[in-house]
């Protein structure tokens, strides 16, 4: 159910995705979703955000094994491009619609997205610190890279073109390498 909801939230956002659609897509019995998510769609959204936070963290950790920050960035962003192209530009980040649609009325959803962004920023920033970047700058760079990827996924979906993501590889990769050097 989390996988099905994740896919639907990525494709069309929070409000448009109904419980019945999640059931149909997951082929879970109707009782299951109410049993596992008594708090309804809001609770399911929080579960999707947490799962997504963990998945992205694993991808960041895998990319971080590269020998230079620019190569880690390239690996991560190329995977992102592949996911988008493979799904007809539907597989965006499921967190962005949650923030835009629900952060105003759902403290639970906003807190979950806050924790996810905070976790990714800490993770990327720790990698840069290990390469010798001072703490404050490492945090700023991590934040810029994460924001740029979030935004570029939106531009790429609007334009059906991976160029905004490729621009990140070309421009932010050298910036990270220079910060480490």
79 binds a copy of itself (CB under 8 A): no
164 binds a copy of itself (CB under 8 A): yes
114 binds a copy of itself (CB under 8 A): yes
Q: Which of 42, 78, 150, 177 binds a copy of itself (CB under 8 A)?
A: 150
Q: Which is nearer to a copy of itself, 44 or 152 (CB)?
A: 152
Q: Which of 3, 12, 36, 132 binds a copy of itself (CB under 8 A)?
A: 12
In whole angstroms, what is the distance from residue 178 CA to residue 175 CA? 5
* Total number of residues shown for the chain: 181
- Residues in Cβ contact with 39 at an 8 Å cutoff, skipping those fewer than 6 apart: 108
Provide the CA 20 distance to its chain's centre, in angstroms: 25
Residue ranges of alpha helices (H) inside the chain are 2-12, 19-26, 30-36, 40-63, 69-86, 95-102, 107-130, 135-159, 163-180
Q: Which of 122, 140, 177, 180 binds a copy of itself (CB under 8 A)?
A: 140
Could you list the residues that contact a copy of itself (CB under 8 A)?
A: 11-16, 89-90, 92, 95-97, 99-101, 103-105, 110, 113-114, 116-118, 139-141, 143-144, 146-152, 154-155, 157-160, 163-164, 166-168, 170-172, 175
């Amino acid at each position: 159910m989390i996988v099905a909801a994740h896919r639907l939230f990525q494709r069309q956002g929070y409000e448009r995705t109904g419980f019945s659609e999640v059931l149909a897509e997951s082929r879970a019995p109707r009782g299951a979703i109410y049993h596992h998510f008594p708090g309804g769609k809001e609770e399911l959204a929080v579960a999707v955000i947490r799962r997504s936070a963990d998945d992205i963290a694993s991808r960041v950790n895998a990319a971080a094994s590269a020998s230079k920050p620019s190569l880690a960035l390239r690996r991560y962003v190329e995977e992102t491009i592949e996911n988008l192209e493979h799904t007809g530009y539907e597989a965006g980040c499921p967190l962005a619609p949650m923030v835009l649609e629900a952060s105003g009325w759902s403290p639970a959803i906003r807190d979950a997205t806050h924790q996810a962004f905070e976790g990714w920023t800490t993770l990327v920033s720790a990698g840069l610190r290990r390469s010798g970047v001072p703490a404050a700058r490492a945090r700023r760079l991590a934040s810029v890279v994460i924001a740029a990827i979030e935004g570029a996924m939106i531009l790429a979906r609007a334009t059906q073109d991976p160029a905004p993501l490729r621009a990140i590889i070309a421009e932010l990769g050298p910036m990270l390498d220079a910060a480490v050097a």
